[in-house]
Amino acid sequence: MKKAPLTYLNENNGSGILAFGTGPTFILDKKSDLDAMQSFIDANKGAYIFTTLSYDLKLKIQGLESSNRDSQNYPLATLWVPKTVVAIENEKIKDYLIGEESNENEAFVSDFFDDSQSIEFKLDAKFKARLTKEVYLNQVNDLKNEIQQGNIYEVNFCQEFFAEKVELKYPIQAYFKLNQLTKAPFSCYSSLGNFEIFSGSPERYIKKEGLKLISQPIKGTAKRGQSKEEDLRLKERLLADPKERAENVMIVDLVRNDLSKIARKNSVKVDELFGIYSFETVHQMISTISCEVEETTSFTDVLKATFPMGSMTGAPKHSAMKLIEKYENFKRGIYSGAIGYIAPNGDFDFNVVIRTLIYNRETKYLSCPVGGAITIQSSPEAEYEECNIKVQSILKGMNA
């Protein structure tokens, strides 16, 4: 039985947006183009359009193909106009953004949050790494050689952890279990077609408010400490780490360059450099870049200039993406893509799909990719450890 679409965007500060109810849908595949996608957006102006963007949308934007294994089978993009959109405050309806107030809608929202507590959820899935440690270390050394030769300055290298034949009967509970572990500000649950996506993302890809665009790339990760003193030391060490700062500033420069393609003259600026933010399992180094755009700038204009996001590619972007296809052994799909919404007035807000589980109900395939930035200063062993810190905090927690 086909499930009705649903998306929950959770800021983890008591606020969120819940969208539900069948409405117009657009699926971008290899036969479609970005003009058709923009036409769908234009035709539904005045509505909320909840949108997912696969990393492999680069096929349309950057002209890059991939022959890597595609186990997710995720579309290049999905756009869906829900019947009802409600603002959530402390798991109750604060306001109707789209749709009419009704007992049926009130009951739906109440049931959604009641379901999150209805069982003690345990994933019980056996994950395997698609890369062995030996191969991972060799690939990182090869990428460092590419950097040494001047082909790139930095590259985001990912690997996939996956489980097969997974019976996921309680997807809502699965999302809330993940959210307990991550408690991230760009967390979301998306159910559309055959796919369930559970994201504990701490990262914003891009936001539009009026004529202002804001991007907040993350580069730099440190684990949380066992005590307040250790936690503070790890936080201070992250801020001072020359390798992490080099990673971050390279991506800041890349984002500045991307935004300059569509920005009003002299409007691109760095609002914050090397901000350190603490989440449930990690500290992150986050920078904020913004610009002003013209009123005629469309959503797909912004995608063409900025997607995929630099924090998930590397620099220079095109060269890094070519090497990603060479050295990775899986198609990223929705991982390192984006999930968010376009508002009725044309504003939008999208996360970066990291710290995320992707489930294909039809094939019963569950994917949890993870990655990190490789620079000339990278230690392959340290990069491997960083990936494991990120992924095991999720996998062990979900199976507990």
Nearest to 333 by CA among 179, 175, 160, 215: 160
Q: Which amino acid is at 248?
A: N
> Under the phi-then-psi rule, with left for phi > 0, alpha for psi from -120 to 50, and beta for the rest, what region is 263?
beta
Rounded Cα distance between 332 and 71, Å, is 9
Tell me the backbone φ, ψ of residue 147, rounded to 5 degrees: -65, -45
Catalytic positions are 203, 219
Contact 178, 143 (CB under 8 A): no
Rounded Cα distance between 352 and 20, Å, is 22
Instruction: Measure CA 327 to chain center.
Output: 21
Rounded Cα distance between 14 and 188, Å, is 14
Rounded Cα distance between 267 and 260, Å, is 8
Report which secondary-structure segment, H or E, holds 355.
none
As given in the structure block, the two tokens for residue 308 are: 């995929």
Instruction: Provide DSSP, 337-350.
Output: SEEEEE-TTS-EEE
Please state, as a whole number, how many other Cβ atoms lie within 10 Å of the Cβ of residue 237: 12
Nearest to 179 by CA among 13, 389, 360: 13
